[in-house]
Structure 1
């Protein structure tokens, strides 16, 4: 049985000004939010997602997702003209909330590598001509890495739906640090699909929340699948800029 899932990743932008640097934090966080929504039979899924410009509705890029094994998730990113420009592979074998993963964006030569040993080992390269930076982190119940956020949402679905606010420490590869974000239920935006459960995600730090627009996510109430995402995207354009995207998620049996 095949299903098709629209998903979104957010990667940290590399702006040279402070405001964009702060916005970068939410960009990388967005990446973890929309990736999996998987059941125990997730390996049977194949997926495709279309990221649109919120104002013009022009296609910015397409994502295709494959699940070759129960704990393995592969993503391929394509330009609007169909050319492959980025790949990602996640492994949830050691942690559902904090998966290992490898990502390459050939637009800028950005490389992210996160591996589990007794700790979390991160290597990050911003572009093909940049130096690789490294860092290590302790594993904790609050630590969330990339698409591990999706599994975190499903594991805490009941509490979140009943309006309990949760906070997570999200790994930001481009800054080699973690940042705390709050997740809470909210009334769905007019633009979002009706009959959904909607959440708002924003930094816990008040000063950062003043600079960064929240992320809005709409989920199907029955299947707990993401149906729409509005916010800054995870894939930089050819100029290295990160765009605000409007992504619809569709599932095909």
Structure 2
């Protein structure tokens, strides 16, 4: 489940910035923060994400290009705390997935398996949007998600939940492994705004690890987007990353 980097696009608008705060479950203790920039370049959607310590220093960065598709984009992720890297890239019509465990390890790269309907990283959000009508009708959907550390896909099932209070404005979804052993891994729960199909809350296992290298169970609350500009995005792309959040206040 840890491959799900739901640093997904928050809306369909270009040139926007939005913030997310990741909390420890059932608390208001901030574990880390996310700042996202989304824009278009030569007609292709782009994203930059900075992952920040609780007090604001950036320790990891992700760059996403919605090519060859928004649901299966190329991306590059690096965590400066230990040098972990992962991503997908394209060359001469072929695609590759890579990982690097830490700064002392060699980069491992393999050809990306061909899977119909594949979903990669932030492409999760685009997939949800493209199948919104089915989910709105109460129908579950299935999709294969890339797990970069394995270089392969896992099959997931996304199903709508009872809306409860706020049914007219919020859609609740649950995402779980679509296998016989799926019961062993806690599902991810999502809340989307119905009006603009914007991700409001993610609750489950994050790809962002703690200082000990363990994947964290988090609740991420996303704020509404604001406008951004090219200078701001360039600064995000080149901002130095810190190698520790030790001593950061929460």
**TM-score with structure 2 length normalisation?**
0.82
- What is the match of residue 5 of structure 1? none
Selected match of 2:32 from 44, 61, 83: 61
Aligned-pair CA distance for 1:194:
8.4
The answer to whether residue 184 in structure 2 is matched with residue 211 in structure 1 is yes
In the TM superposition, 1:1-253 aligns within 5 A as: 26-28=1-3, 30-31=4-5, 33-39=6-12, 42-70=13-41, 71-117=45-91, 118-188=93-163, 195-207=169-181, 209-253=182-226
User: How large is the RMSD of aligned CA atoms in angstroms?
Assistant: 2.0
Q: Deviations over 1:20-74 (max 9, x none)?
A: xxxxxx111x21x4511432xx322111111111133201111111124351100
Secondary structure of 1:98's match?
Answer: coil
Identify unmatched segments of 5+ residues in structure 2.
227-250
Q: Contact 1:228–1:247 (CA<8 Å) still a contact in 2?
A: yes
Secondary structure of 2:14 counterpart: helix
Number of aligned residue pairs: 222
Report the Cα offset of residue 242 of structure 1. Answer: 1.2
Q: Secondary structure at the match of 2:2?
A: helix
Unaligned 5+ segments in structure 1 are 1-25
Confirm or deny: 8 A CA contact 1:37 1:154 kept in the other structure.
no
Instruction: State how far apart, in whole Å, the 2-side matches of 1:248 and 1:56 are.
Output: 12
Structure 1 length-normalised TM: 0.81
What's 1:13 paired with? none
Residues 104-141 of structure 1 show CA distances to partners (whole Å, capped at 9, x for unaligned) of 01122111131123232011112122232222124444
- Partners in 2 of 1:67 and 1:180 — Cα distance? 28
- The aligned residue for residue 11 of structure 1 is none
Deviation string 1:126-157 (CA, Å, 9 cap, x unpaired) is 21222322221244441110011100100110
Change (3 A) 1:245 1:194: farther
- Higher normalized helix content (fraction of residues): 1
Contact 1:90–1:102 (Cα < 8 Å) also in 2 = yes
Cα shift at 1:189: 7.8
CA distance 1:194–1:222, change in 2 (3 Å): closer
Distance 1:37 1:249 in 2: 8
1:160 partner SS:
helix
Q: Which has the larger radius of gyration?
A: 2
Aligned to 2:238: none
